[in-house]
Amino acid sequence: MSPHLAAAPGMRLLSGIAGPDDLRALPAADMPALADEIRGFLIDTVSASGGHLGPNLGVVEVTMALHRVFDSPRDVLLFDTGHQAYVHKILTGRWDRFGGLRTAEGLSGYPSQAESAHDVIENSHASTALSYADGLAKAFELSGRRDRRIVALVGDGALTGGMCWEALNNIGSARKRPVIVVLNDNGRSYAPTVGALADHLGALRSGSPNAANLFDLLGFAYIGPVDGHDTPALEEALRQAADLRRPVVVHTITAKGKGYGPAEGDVAEQMHAVGVIDPVTGVPVSGGKRSWTSVFGDELATLGAERPDIVAITAAMPLPTGLGPFIQRFPSRVFDVGIAEQHAVTSAAGLALGGLHPVVAIYSTFLNRAFDQVLMDVALHRLPVTFVLDRAGVTGADGPSHHGVWDASLLPVVPGLRLAAPRDPRRLRELLREAVDHQDGPSVIRYPKAVAGPDIPTVRRNGTVDVIREDPGARVLLVAVGSLAAAALAAADDLAAHGVPSTVVDPRWTAPLHADLVALAAGHDLALTVEDTTATGALGARLAQALAETGAPARAATLALPPQFLPHATRDEILHAHGMDGAGIAANVMKLLNGTACTR
């Protein structure tokens, strides 16, 4: 699909906007019609590409008001979380590039410095914008650039994250350092906002005269609540906030999915993130194939019925991480802590200390935020906590911040931690059971954002390792980590056609490195690990070190991802680009055997 779009008949106003100056030149009377055009444009384009639909439908008027009152990029506009920046992109001259949204040649689904000077930060992990705002305000003050204003749009869901409160604590203490916090309160992140904060915002929304205002107590002027779909009221509130020249919270009330019937009727998530859908009905155009997430969710619910000590923890993402079936059956045993990954992990440690077995369901990329808690609060105490990492490895369209390519390199350094990568649905169920049965330290299971293919049978079990193909006289050992087993088997077919027999194994548990795998590698001329993770610290490096220590003549090499931030594209496109499909694996083996390969 071409990333460039032509103006459609329903874009009378929008087609004339090449930047914020054009928006500000429009009369206020045109704002409702423009908002309708933007919503229609979002529904048409995002339904074709997939992406974050509900959050952007909810911030149309807020974003319009921000760009009418403030002068971006001289004034700095920050978005938390960045997935609600589609309208910002439209109003800063990029509407004609939405045809390739989240594709390799198209726009990022988040702010991107490479796309526009209006995108100051590339944040797509929640709860960070206020800290950026605090640092920028200090920098502008010290450099004398007092003419530049800083505005951070932060959702009430993101406000559940601890970093927000660390930043508010600092921003509010500097009464003469102006930072404007626009609180986009729609009562949700992925799921409804939880905790005492949600109760407090509810009291502020209701206008309760007895409600103490936490933002006042933290040193902010408070303006609101303001109807987040009333552009004149928003513009007035924002101008008032700018005139105060001090830290201000502008509390706006919005409706996620505003103006789109299917989203407004989606009680669970307000169509927070969608694949390709029918723009009229909101129904997915294709589907029906089993995802890794759904396999995990069903098995955890089954385990929950067998084991009353199993509880689940999520950081504001109960349904995206597959906890729906468990929630339906055991609602009192699920704890949504908000966007607070560090708290989630240490709270899990407390649950384990109390005799329960917590299962922390989290995206791989978000566990990075809680590495210290895994290390010091769980592993140091040898606590039985199971971490299930969804979206591990290459995820695709969400881009560099969401590829889960670090966990498998970071986590093996944690003493006593066990790390598994299932190759198929049956192994996911088996490994999950082994994880929750383990009582002496944390276990981690990782799997990708992808369709869970058919089960791959085991030829024989070699200790802890599954042999899934064994050619007579094999010279090459392919160590297929997780879902890359199918690609490794395809590579073995290719190699056999070129007269190179091979053995293909699934190590199941990739950390700690087991002696069974080392012994298998020592019996071949070449052992190549194929891993959906960054090469630094990967299994292949650990295997090579172990082989060297044994003195075995076998060589070990790693086929993994480079230590770089990977762009947005489909998972298959990225894996192919790095030689991690069947043909690429086979080609790498042949080069290694000929002494010409450059492994990553």
pLDDT digits (tens, 9 = 90+) for 490-533: 999 999 999 999 999 999 999 999 999 999 999 999 999 999 99
Question: What residue segments make up the domains of the chain, in order of their start?
Answer: 14-264, 292-446, 460-593
Would you list which residues are annotated within the binding site?
A: 83, 124-126, 156-158, 186, 260, 341
Helix residue spans in 421-563 (DSSP H): 425-437, 485-497, 515-522, 539-550
pLDDT-derived band at 89, boundaries 50, 70, 90? very high
Question: pLDDT, tens digit, for every residue of 356-412?
Answer: 999 999 999 999 999 999 999 999 999 999 999 999 999 988 888 899 999 999 999
The answer to whether the beta carbons of residues 387 and 443 sit under 8 Å apart is: yes
DSSP-assigned letter for residue 8: P
Pairing of strands 180-185, 248-253: parallel
- Nearest C-alpha neighbor of 124 from the set 78, 191, 90: 78
**Cβ of 99: how many Cβ atoms within 10 Å?**
19
- CATH number of the structural domain 14-264: 3.40.50.970
- Nearest C-alpha neighbor of 21 from the set 78, 61, 70: 70
DSSP, collapsed to helix, strand or coil, labels residue 512 as coil
In angstroms, the Cα distances linking 294 to 229, 248, 284, 356, 454 are 36, 43, 16, 24, 14
Question: pLDDT, tens digit, for every residue of 203-257?
Answer: 998 887 777 899 999 999 999 999 999 999 999 999 999 999 999 999 999 999 8
Distance CA(471)–CA(469), nearest Å, equals 7
Mean pLDDT in residue range 420-445 = 98
Burial 69-96 (b: 16+ CB within 10 A, else e): bbebeebbbbbbbbbbbbbbbbbbbbbb
Distance CA(372)–CA(282), nearest Å, equals 41
Question: pLDDT, tens digit, for every residue of 42-82?
Answer: 999 999 888 899 899 999 999 999 999 999 999 999 999 88
Distance CA(21)–CA(430), nearest Å, equals 59
Residues with active-site annotation: 256, 341, 369
Distance CA(484)–CA(572), nearest Å, equals 11
What is the pLDDT, as a whole number, of residue 287?
63
What is the pLDDT, as a whole number, of residue 599?
43
Burial 34-51 (b: 16+ CB within 10 A, else e): bbebbbbbbbebbbbbbb
Question: pLDDT, tens digit, for every residue of 176-201?
Answer: 889 999 999 988 766 778 889 889 99
| CA geometry: angle 151, 155, 156, nearest 5 deg | 125
Per-residue DSSP letters for 307-374? -TTEEEEESS-TTTTT-HHHHHH-GGGEEE--S-HHHHHHHHHHHHHTT-EEEEEEEHHHHGGGHHII
> Across all residues in the chain, what is the average pLDDT?
93
Omega of the bond leading into 81 within 30 degrees of 0 (cis) = yes
What is the pLDDT, as a whole number, of residue 237?
98
The answer to whether the beta carbons of residues 563 and 531 sit under 8 Å apart is: no
Question: pLDDT, tens digit, for every residue of 433-474?
Answer: 999 999 999 999 999 999 999 999 999 999 999 999 999 999
The answer to whether the beta carbons of residues 294 and 303 sit under 8 Å apart is: no
- Six-digit token pair at 270? 């307000």
Give the CATH fold of the 292-446 domain: Rossmann fold (3.40.50)
Give the highest mean pLDDT range of 102-106, 400-404, 481-485.
481-485
Helical (H) or strand (E) element with 63? helix 60-69
Assess whether the region 14-264 and the region 292-446 belong to the same CATH fold. yes
What is the pLDDT, as a whole number, of residue 191?
72
User: In the CATH hierarchy, which top-level class contains the domain 460-593?
Assistant: alpha beta
Please, what sign has the CA dihedral across residues 290, 293, 299, 305? negative
Distance CA(439)–CA(428), nearest Å, equals 19
